[in-house]
Amino acid sequence: MLKKLFGIAPTLESDGSYSPSKLALKLGTVDKTDFEHISYDKYEGKKSKILVIFTDQKNMKMQNGKLFSTGNHPVEALVPMLHLKNAGFEFEIATISGKPAVFEMWAFPEKDENVKAIYEEYKSNFEKPLKLQDFIDNSMTEMASYAAVFVPGGHGSMLGIPENANVGKVLTWAHQNDLFTISLCHGPGSFLTTTLNKQKFLYEGYNMAVFPDSVDKMTPKIGYLPGQMPWGLSEKMKDLGVNVVNSKSDKTVCLDRKLITGASPLASNELGKLAAQTLLDELK
């Protein structure tokens, strides 16, 4: 009752899951992003495609058994896509199952016309994405058409994706064919797929920006999460030999070889700029 009174009780949804409290939404989301409209020298070559792997799952079970209503964070997905689109790249949208991509719509920046525009442009692709297996079967031989693989963040990117062998195949394919891999926040959980079947971790020794476990541990206090996380991402990355370059959920971005990462939703604009300019410089 006190939590409800002070606006820090997570909000119960119709399916029994919880979205963030009123206070958490006020502190942790925005109506309008810091997206900068930059006039890039548009890429016009053959490697114009970027595969974007979205989650198809919504509810994350916390340590206390409560379900967190999650998905991909819309800002983390759409703001980098805006920059990459403005730089001349196009997207293929995929989920593991081919079921619709799931967004944390409670975090959608409703007053941001740029974000709304790209969401509407790709809405049909979000609703009917490629099945990742079909991409593997039909498109992986066309590496000359692809510039990068992008795994957006949001806690939902930790559902199903980190243990999926097909995600591992795609990331290994990108790595072996000198494509860029882009991710932010909790999206780097996808990198754990490269350890499946006792394989050596693909990104051992890399510098990387990742959402800090320390912040996830604090957010239940304001009702952002309805309980403690089932597992921690940043510490797991460190255990695998990653040098995590940030300690806060801030605007930090990082480029290491062909890997581009960002620390949090706050890094979405910076990640988009870094990814767009890096791809343009590399593909000239």
Angle between helices 74-86 and 268-283 (to 10 degrees): 30
Token duo for residue 35: 């997206």
For the CA atoms of 187, 271, 131, 113, what is the dihedral angle to 10 degrees?
A: 120
Spatial distance between the Cα atoms of 198 and 217, rounded to a whole number of angstroms: 29
**With b meaning 16 or more CB within 10 Å and e meaning fewer, what string describes 242-277?**
bebbbeebbbbbbbbebbbbbbbbbbbbbbbbbbbb
Q: Is 185 a catalytic residue?
A: yes
Q: Which of 185, 233, 271, 274 is catalytic?
A: 185
Sign of the C-alpha dihedral computed for residues 71, 162, 229 and 261 taken in this order: negative
Q: Kindly report the CA angle at 115 between 140 and 187, in degrees rounded to 5?
A: 45
**With b meaning 16 or more CB within 10 Å and e meaning fewer, what string describes 36-75?**
eeeebeebeeebbbbbbbbbbbbbbebeeebbbbbbbbbb
Give the residue numbers marked as catalytic: 185
